[in-house]
Structures are given as C-alpha cells and as structure tokens.
Chains A and B, each alone.
Chain A
C-alpha cells in the first residue's frame, strides 16, 4: 500500500511565527487531506487537496502530485493552532485513507 511520511515530527513555535509542514507519499494519489487534531482529540478537516493550492484564512496548502508531496503552511500562528496535524492519502477505488504519523505543534504565547 501507499506510504505517507510527515515531517517534522514535532514543532514548537512562538505565537505569531510562520511554519511549513511537509507530507511525502509513495505513489500517485486521488485523495490527499490535511487534518488538525485538537487537544480534545477531535479531527478537523482542513483541506481536501489532491493537487494544486488552496487557502483558508491563515492556513494554506499545496500539493505537487507529480513530485508526491504536500505542504501545509501556517502563518501568524496562534495558541489555538496547537495540536497534531495529520496528512492522509488514498490511491485507489474505495478512497481508503492512509495516515502519516503526524506533526505535533505547540504554539507558545
């Protein structure tokens, strides 16, 4: 099956800083999603982005499908951005997502 790797595993930011999270995947995909898991364990959809670029407020994402990676940008980070960010990809019929190991983000005030 497809392999999904995320980097860095941990990130500590000062409030207001910008950061980039990376997701590499081992095969062509027809689904690529980014999630934020908040400290209460809830999974929040951020982006569905199998290719191209999208923006939502202070967050944006870019997927370069031909090079098999996706980037999540956090600008002007806030303490509420803390949590774990997951990338997940699917490559075949059934839309079965394979999750990466996540990037744990801590934003300090």
Chain B
C-alpha cells in the first residue's frame, strides 16, 4: 500500500496562474480532506469529501475548488493563485467512521 500520495511535491506559480493538486489513496477510504499549513501554525481544513461525487467547504475554502470524480482521488484547484495561497498543502483520508486520518507527504506551493 502506498497510502496517501500527493502530486506535485513542490510548485512555484506566478500570481494569477492556475493549477491542480492531486491526492490519491489506495486504502478504499470514503472520506478525503485538503488542509493547508502556514508557517508556524497548525493545519486548517480547506474542503473535504464524504464520498465519491460529494464535496463540502471547510474552514478556509475561498479561492479553492475541489472535485471527487473517483473514490480514490481528490483534486484541489486554484483558479487564480495569490501570494496568500503560499503554503504547504496536505491531503488526508479516513474511513467513514471516526478513526485515524492518514496524511500525505504534502505539497509546497510558492506563489510569487
């Protein structure tokens, strides 16, 4: 099992550019999440999904969109990147019951 993987590992964008971050899990988990971590802080929830075809907003959803077309994949999109979106992005997944969330290795994004 690869667990939770994220692509890419690192990316530099210019203000206004768009990009998509990919999260994939091979544990057949129903729930998937996108978090961001700013320097010196804990993680904050951006969007989440409780099953294929569903998405919902988290604590800091503005400027991001998500899609869950396949159970194993959760995509995070930035339509028009801003310097405030410079952060480390973590994806996580879990089963449908309260249980351990498993995190990917993170994607470092720098917006200039």
Contacts and interface: CB of A to CB of B under 8 A. Distances in A.
Interface of A: 1, 4, 30-31, 33, 35, 41-43, 45, 48, 50, 86, 88, 90, 94-102
Given A95-B101, A102-B42, 18 more contacts: A31-B101, A33-B100, A33-B101, A43-B90, A43-B106, A45-B100, A45-B101, A48-B99, A48-B100, A86-B42, A86-B43, A90-B98, A94-B50, A94-B56, A95-B98, A96-B45, A97-B33, A100-B42
Given A41-B88, A102-B42, A97 B31 contact: no
Nearest to A96: B45
A98 B48 CA distance: 13
B38 to A, nearest CB: 11
B62 interface: no
A1 B45 CA distance: 12
A101 B98 contact: no
B48 A50 contact: no
Contacts, number: 61
Interface residues of B, number: 26
Contacts of B58: 96
A42 B106 contact: yes
B94 interface: yes
Nearest to A93: B50
Nearest to B49: A94
A90 B35 CA distance: 14
Contacts of A33: 100-101
B98 A42 contact: no
